[in-house]
Amino acid sequence: MTPRSPRMLKGALVSVDTFNALAGSIIFQYNPDTLSRTLQMQGAGENASRSEALRLRGAPVETIKLDVELDATDQLEGDDPVATATGIHPQLASLEMMLYPKSALVIANTVLMATGSLEIVPPMAPLTLFIWGAKRVLPVRVSDFTVTEEAYDNDLNPLRARVSLSLRVLSYNDLSITHPGYALFLTHQVVKETLATVGAGSSVAAAMGGNVKLF
């Protein structure tokens, strides 16, 4: 009997749009080997009084950076018609559309300006979720990304690329209480607090077992 390897979850960026539930969504073809996270504390400023020195203004500002690889080799070997005709253009376009306003709204606003209307509807980005396992489902804003295209077919469709993503996590400091991302981030913090409690208990037990005095 052949042993089964454990099923590997795939990371993803999922954009939820009112008019298109899967707009701009992409499941990572290969999970990145590394992921860097930067957390900046939101506390009192340098000139704050002593009573405010340890006061927090909210959740830290978190930035996530990762590199995603896209490759059409397997699809081309399987004679996938989309990959044969367009390479990885669709995947790249899905990522890029997270930064674009909808063309329909741009056209509508252009018409309104041409007719002298003073009420222009500002474009809203869709809710984008960074999914990295069950314990990390985070509302994010794609701050920027760099695409390095590495191979092309005869029609210059990109066949392989590396995308460097920079994601700004949106916390309850950034979103209104009615926004679905507000509850998502709060749930993420509760999960993190639970994990921290488990980790703290293990650390104390190890320290006590090692005859280490904490105080």
pLDDT tens string 103-137 = 888 888 888 888 887 677 677 778 899 999 988 99
CA distance 123 to 177: 20
Largest CA distance in the chain: 79
- Answer whether 125's CB lies under 8 Å from 16's CB: no
What would you report as the CA-atom Rg of the chain, rounded to the nearest whole angstrom?
A: 23
How is 47-66 classified by DSSP, letter by letter? T--GGGTT-B-SSPEEEEEE
Q: Is the dihedral of CA 58, 166, 8, 97 positive or negative?
A: positive
Greater pLDDT, 203 or 130: 130
In this prediction, residue 175 has a pLDDT band, given cuts at 50, 70 and 90, of very high
Strands (E), 32-173: 35-40, 61-71, 127-131, 137-152, 158-169
Mean pLDDT of 42-57: 71
Residue 98 has pLDDT above 80, yes or no: yes
Instruction: Mark residue 130 as left, alpha or beta (left: phi above 0; alpha: psi -120 to 50; beta: remaining).
Output: beta
Residue 215 has pLDDT above 50, yes or no: no
Residue 207 has pLDDT above 80, yes or no: no
Residue 22 has pLDDT above 60, yes or no: no
pLDDT at residue number 125: 77
The pTM of this model reads 0.81
pLDDT tens string 51-89 = 667 778 889 999 999 999 999 999 999 999 999 999 999
Phi, psi of 44 (to 5 degrees): -70, 155
- Answer whether 176's CB lies under 8 Å from 107's CB: no
Greater pLDDT, 168 or 206: 168
H/E stretch holding 84: helix 81-86
Mean pLDDT of 162-181: 94
Closest CA to 140 of 95, 193, 88: 95
CA distance 215 to 202: 17
